[in-house]
Structure 1
Amino acid sequence: MHNFLESTTICGLRNLSDPAGHTHVLSLIDPEWTEPTEFATWQADRWRLLRFHDDIEQRDQRVSPTREHVAEILAFGKQASEDPASRLFIHCLSGKSRSTAAAVLIWSQAFPQHDEQYIMGHLLRVRPQAWPNLLMIQYGDELLGRDGKLVSAAHELYKQGLIADPDWARTLERLGRTAEIIR
């Protein structure tokens, strides 16, 4: 399992990289998007498709991530991490928020000996543009019994991200994600 942390690939649907060589695929896409045909031939137990929007607050009739979605992500991640040859491929629309939150949660579950700063630091090395979905992190923190530490580590990531790109705050406001604006 030691290679599981290093062998995870995270990307966006718009720049979907080749999943060849990977053993498990986690697809996190909007409900209205068509099913990615790239994975149609994958075994059902090795490909999980979850449909919800990248929101952190309920907006209109949109489908926000739920505790059940996160529990399903963790169950799939547990199955993948228990395979010694596992190479996990996670994607969402942009490879920035849902997929990175899923990776953080799966890694936190698979490697409870690593603290939250280590996990977030690894995420930024793998995916420098990461901005993990706060609602998913909150649910995962609760389900994993991390006592708010994953949420705190996400807030630190947001704070550093806004220092590097202060204009990102306007986009977050427009998207209804003001809870992720940490200064």
Structure 2
Amino acid sequence: MQSHSIKMLTICGISELPDQRERSVTHVLSILDPDHPDPEAFGSYDPHHRTILRFHDIINPIEGMILPKPEHVEAVLRFGDEVAQNRGERAEGHLLVHCHMGVSRSTAAMLTLMAQTNPEESEERLFERLTEIRPQAWPNSLMIAFADGLLSRNGRLMDALRRHYGRQIRRMPRYEQLMRGLGRSREVEMAA
């Protein structure tokens, strides 16, 4: 996402939120587990526009957990529309997207926002930019599938995601075992 007002993009996890308070954050998208308390770090931030979404970081149904749904990705896109409408409010903006670890839900949301704002940008370039922002990015595949459809990318985001997963496994081989352990084997297999 790169509008006239948003000059900085950040993705992080909850533990990193205190480190961001001095960075003039103007817009925040928080993605939290449904039962997780609101992070206290935001109490020390300058005034900012914030949207909170609550669902689990899973890709298969698990009893008692909330699977990402199209409505969640639609909410991400509405947030993007709100950010775009606030362009003139400040000379420079700083968009922060966070989830628990800053690896999966937040990177899927940021990629969605970048694709929304830059509809002509290639899917490969979007994933390159995402990795520049957050090198450990492993976007939630279910969220990306919904974004692909909602943004009329006709499967191109999912194809680029497969290649991204392959690059991430080559760069960080431990991700294969980690993701399998988290019930994300399908994503590892997508990279093959």
Task: Name which of 47, 58, 61 aligns with 2:61.
Answer: 58
CA distance in 2, matches of 1:160, 1:35: 34
Query: What is the 5 A alignment of 1:65-76?
Result: 65-76=68-79
2:15: which partner in 1? Answer: 14
- Determine helix, strand or coil for the equivalent of 2:34: coil
AA matched with 1:130: A
CA distance in 1, matches of 2:179, 2:31: 20
Residues 25 and 46 in structure 2, CA contact (< 8 A), matched pair in contact too: no
The runs of at least 4 aligned residues of structure 1 exceeding 4 Å deviation read 40-45
Q: CA deviation at 1:87?
A: 2.1
Q: CA deviation at 1:9?
A: 1.1
Q: CA deviation at 1:27?
A: 0.4
2:112: which partner in 1? Answer: 105
The sequence identity of aligned pairs, in percent, is 36
Unaligned runs of 5+ in 2: none
1:153: which partner in 2? Answer: 160
CA distance in 1, matches of 2:110, 2:85: 15
Unaligned runs of 5+ in 1: none
TM value normalised by structure 2:
0.87
Q: How many residues align?
A: 182
Residues 78 and 106 in structure 1, CA contact (< 8 A), matched pair in contact too: no
CA distance in 2, matches of 1:114, 1:82: 21
Q: CA deviation at 1:173?
A: 1.6
Q: 1:126 and 2:133 equivalent? A: yes
Deviations 1:111-157 (A, max 9, x none): 11211111100011111111111110001111110001111111111
1:34: which partner in 2? Answer: 37
Question: Cα 1:45–1:21, aligned 2, differ >3 Å: closer, same or farther?
Answer: closer
Query: What is the 5 A alignment of 1:78-89?
Result: 78-84=81-87, 85=90, 86-89=93-96
